[in-house]
Amino acid sequence: MLYRQSEPFMLSRTGSPQRRPTVTSDTPVRHSLALRVPAHHPALAGHFPGNPIVPGVVLLDAVVSAAEEWLGTRLHVLRLSHAKFLAPLKPDDAARIELVLRGPLLDFSVHRHETAIAKGTLNITRAAMT
């Protein structure tokens, strides 16, 4: 399980380890990670008191972090081509992030059980090392 101090959500690998794809590859490559946003996440306090749900920006941050962990490099998000948030995610709910890399496009979906709760496409590039 991956847990970073600066990112208060938990990602864990599902399936067997694979060779890391390159951002420039034109062949679509798929990856999946488990996600859980704990009830003590700082964004939940005001979103919404008494009935907390995980904010969309936290889901997007988890998607980018999952992609960085999978690809083994920091990424720059050049553009959020589109995103739809279809259903809420509650704190501590088990969810799954599905990623499909198509060259510089990263398609993502977030699922709770078999229900899609978010989906979209990011235009990405590797971050320049400074």
All domains in the chain, ordered by first residue? 2-15+28-126 (3.10.129.10)
| β partners of residue 122 | 80, 106
pLDDT tens-digit profile, the chain (130 residues): 343 444 566 777 665 555 677 666 678 899 999 999 999 999 898 888 889 999 999 999 999 999 999 999 999 999 999 999 999 999 999 999 999 999 999 999 999 999 999 999 999 998 875 5
* pLDDT value, residue 127: 83
Sign of the alpha-carbon dihedral angle for 90, 17, 105, 74: positive
* pLDDT value, residue 84: 98
Work out the burial of residue 66: count CB atoms within 10 Å of its CB; fewer than 13 is exposed, 13-18 middle, 19 or more buried.
buried
